[in-house]
């Protein structure tokens, strides 16, 4: 039976070749001697005949553009081995990477190094720390050049200083990349006047970048947390997510109140003038 099947297949193949041969003769007789088979994937009657008899393979299906894009994105999203490694593992596996990955590995190492430094800094700061006058130079003036330092000079006997300490404690937790410290003013400066307290100094690279001296400059006795955050952000010490100065609304209300008071006084004056007797 197998022999019979093979014989039938051979006959079908020979029959197909005979048909193709006859069509070829017909084309030559008609004077069309150009090359008929140009593109095996082209949609022509001739190619269909050849495919029908198995002389040409089935027509290739065009690749789906979306499918190609998905495959490309999958390839781009593949996680490189070095992206799972820490700094120590990167150093140990340095010789295992080919030349094409060396540059990417170095860039990735620098990125991980910066992340590690940021993590170390976050673990180091994140709270309002108390320092003494003897620690001032080390903790403030000689702090790392890329670190913003906010120091509050205060006295516990002044309520406004206690309010500022409370706000700075919250800001220290919110912005752990900045260094927040406080010091009793007597340990740093002798004979410092109470009228100059609270005093907030902002340092960067050993230099004072901003200062807020006294109740008024610090924001007043009703200072809000967001207002102090905005002040420090304006200096550049922190990156706030506040979109506008929260004090602006208070200022506008105060201005409006003054305008209303002034208008009311003018109205009263005019009314009084009307009621005054005219002396001739």
Residue 242: pLDDT band by 50, 70, 90 thresholds? very high
Q: Are 173 and 159 in contact (CB under 8 A)?
A: no
Q: Would you state the pLDDT for residue 225?
A: 97
Tokens linked to 68: 């190609």
pLDDT-above-70 percentage for the chain: 55
Q: What 3-state class would DSSP assign to 165?
A: helix
Instruction: Tell how strand 179-184 and strand 148-154 pair up.
Output: parallel
Q: Would you state the pLDDT for residue 34?
A: 46
Q: Which residue has the tokens 């004979």?
A: 191
Q: Would you state the pLDDT for residue 161?
A: 97
Q: What 3-state class would DSSP assign to 201?
A: strand
pLDDT of 143 above 70: yes
Tokens linked to 31: 């004077």
* Most confident of the ranges 89-98, 112-121, 177-186, 246-255: 177-186
Residue 7: pLDDT band by 50, 70, 90 thresholds? very low
pLDDT tens digit string along 257-274?
444 445 445 444 443 443
Q: What 3-state class would DSSP assign to 200?
A: strand
CB count within 10 Å of CB 210 equals 17
pTM: 0.52
pLDDT tens digit string along 171-181?
999 999 899 99
pLDDT tens digit string along 243-257?
999 986 555 544 444
Residue 240: pLDDT band by 50, 70, 90 thresholds? very high
pLDDT of 186 above 70: yes
58 by Cβ neighbours in 10 Å (0-12 / 13-18 / 19+) ranks as exposed
pLDDT tens digit string along 188-219?
999 999 999 999 999 999 999 999 999 999 99
Of residues 58 and 245, more confidently modeled? 245
């Amino acid at each position: 039976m197998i022999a019979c099947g093979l014989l039938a297949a051979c006959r079908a193949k020979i029959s197909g070749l005979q048909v193709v041969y006859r069509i070829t003769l017909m084309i030559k007789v008609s004077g069309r001697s150009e090359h008929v088979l140009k593109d095996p994937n082209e949609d022509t009657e001739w190619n269909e005949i050849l495919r029908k008899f198995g002389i040409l393979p089935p027509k290739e299906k065009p690749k789906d553009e979306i499918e190609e894009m998905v495959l490309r994105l999958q390839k781009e999203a593949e996680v490189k081995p070095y992206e799972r490694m820490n700094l120590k593992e990167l150093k140990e596996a340095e010789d295992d990477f080919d030349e094409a990955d060396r540059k990417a590995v170095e860039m990735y190492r620098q990125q991980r190094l910066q992340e590690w430094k940021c993590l170390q800094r976050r673990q180091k700061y994140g709270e309002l720390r108390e320092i003494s006058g003897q620690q001032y130079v080390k903790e403030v003036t000689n702090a790392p050049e890329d670190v913003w330092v906010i120091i509050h000079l205060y006295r516990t006997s002044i309520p406004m200083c206690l309010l500022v300490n409370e706000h700075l404690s919250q800001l220290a937790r919110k912005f752990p990349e900045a260094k927040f410290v406080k010091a009793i003013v007597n340990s740093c400066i002798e004979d410092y006047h109470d009228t100059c307290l609270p005093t907030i100094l902002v340092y960067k690279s050993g230099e004072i970048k901003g200062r807020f001296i006294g109740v008024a400059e610090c924001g007043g006795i009703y200072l809000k947390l967001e207002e102090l955050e905005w002040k420090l952000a304006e200096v550049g010490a922190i990156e706030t997510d506040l979109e506008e100065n929260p004090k602006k609304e208070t200022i506008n209300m105060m201005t409006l109140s003054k305008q209303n008071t002034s208008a009311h006084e003018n109205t009263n004056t005019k009314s009084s003038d009307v009621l005054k007797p005219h002396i001739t």
